[in-house]
Structure 1
Amino acid sequence: MSQKPFKFKQFSIDQDRCAMKIGTDGVLLGAWTSLQHQPDSILDIGTGTGLIALMLAQRSEAGLIDALEIEENAYEQAVDNFEKSDWGDRLFCYHAGFDEFVKEMQDEEKYDLIISNPPFYSEDYKSGNENRDQARFSDALPLEELIEGASLLLSDKGHFDLIIPFTEEQKSLKIAKDHKLFPVQITRVKGTESSLVKRSLISFTFENKDPEIDELILEISRHNYTEEFKALVEDFYLKL
């Protein structure tokens, strides 16, 4: 399946060279993130296939959408996916680690929206596939480094949005507070009504106010999706 392009309504994505394939997390984040503050510049950290950057190109009028990818095969694939889309003139991918990108750009560029579906798993276990491990294990981009770097690249009125395991939510809020970032929206994601919360979608800004907190349930039963989830992603998936 992953050898074939993944077709969305307005773009398609090749992912045969990417260790991490398209999944619900990335689509959720790209559809959920608010554009009410009308960002003109966007940065997608750890873009992988380029999915989230492409979703935001479809959803927004942002003149500049930068993406960052350290793994060479994924970087090359993201570039190809950008070029074959309708928004190639607004999309640019950097092949670099986040730490060096921050050093290079923090005095040059501030972004109105920074978004990331970061590597999650901090367990000792590794799959043995170096590219997949780099894409999915948090020692490749620790949460502390991600949040600190985002705080240095974010514009005064900007938003920093990410999706993380629910078990990491409190840790991320504490780290963010240390860098003067505060949650304005938190959406906790459950697979079904009766399942445990699996993910947290969080939007941070420099404004310290009480966050809006809600919950999103994906399915009523297997492949029977909730109306809330369908409404969120209907502009992207060909069918649900």
Structure 2
Amino acid sequence: MANTFFKFKEFTVHQEHCAMKVCTDACIQGAFTAQYLVDKNTTVPAILDIGAGTGLLSLMLAQRIPATITAVELDAGAAQQALDNFAASPWANRLSLMQTDIRKMDNGLSYDFIITNPPFYESALKSGHAQKDQAMHATNLSYKELISAIDRQLSLSGEVSVLLPYNEFETFRELALVAGFYLQRVLYIRQSVNHGFFRTTGIFGRTPGAAVVQELAIYDASNVYTSQFAALLQPFYLYL
């Protein structure tokens, strides 16, 4: 039986025999991105989810954005779990999955928005476990290759949401700028008010301009969810 990692108001995400676990920072990215698109109030008919894992981000966006969403996942176990999660969701008719390497993807389409939680942290230590290393490090895909894939798949007016470790984000931002992508909005994330930043989620587009900067702490000093975190995740978490 598949393990339930998070139960949301509209769906339950399962995972079975998969190296890429659902985690809180990915949920923050999904909620932050969905809210950005809702607030922007523009039509994004086609969304691409690169490195979809078990399909969490696709499902979160599908709940709030009436778009057709294509998920791309290389790992066979994660891809199958994503397919199962999609089929069990209320938005199955708008969700599809391609088990392929994004570097080789060529379906002749361009997307209005891309979301990616890159499972490859370039400066992280290797775990010694091959599948986990592939999931957590730049073993098979570099930031430059990711940006190249985004550039190829994204429409000229499109935007992309990226979640990265805080210490890696500036490197990615500099590489993105060289490729013509400008930071539009950024959220710096702390585990608690007593911790430094550990994750960053940013939204990039091809239009130059000053980025809107935000910060978020998950827990307050009493180890209780902050009101900001609760408000952001309330549309998704069953118990907030």
Q: Deviations over 1:66-102 (max 9, x none)?
A: 000000011111011101111111100000011001x
Distance, in Å, in 1 between the alignment partners of 2:6 and 2:125 is 29
Q: Deviations over 1:160-206 (max 9, x none)?
A: 11111111122111111111110010111111223111111110000
Question: Secondary structure at the residue paired with 2:4?
Answer: coil
Percent identity reads: 36
Distance 1:128 1:187, change over 3 A: same
TM-score, normalization by structure 1: 0.92
Distance 1:109 1:21, change over 3 A: same
Moved over 6 A (4+): none
**Contact 1:127-1:133 within 8 A present in 2 as well:** yes
Q: What is the correspondence of 1:1-240 to structure 2 with a 5 Å cutoff? A: 3-4=3-4, 6-33=6-33, 34-35=36-37, 36=40, 37-62=42-67, 64-101=68-105, 104-105=106-107, 108-123=108-123, 125-221=125-221, 223-240=223-240
Q: CA deviation at 1:126?
A: 3.0
Q: Deviations over 1:53-74 (max 9, x none)?
A: 0001101011x20000000011
**Contact 2:13-2:54 within 8 A present in 1 as well:** yes
Question: Secondary structure at the residue paired with 1:225?
Answer: coil
Distance, in Å, in 2 between the alignment partners of 1:223 and 1:78 is 32
Distance, in Å, in 2 between the alignment partners of 1:38 and 1:217 is 30
Distance 1:39 1:84, change over 3 A: same
User: Is 196-205 or 116-125 further displaced after alignment?
Assistant: 116-125
Distance, in Å, in 2 between the alignment partners of 1:69 and 1:212 is 30
The size of the alignment, in residue pairs, is 235
Gaps of 5+ in 2: none
TM-score, normalization by structure 2: 0.92
Distance, in Å, in 2 between the alignment partners of 1:78 and 1:92 is 9
Question: Secondary structure at the residue paired with 2:220?
Answer: strand
What amino acid maps onto 2:60 in structure 1? M
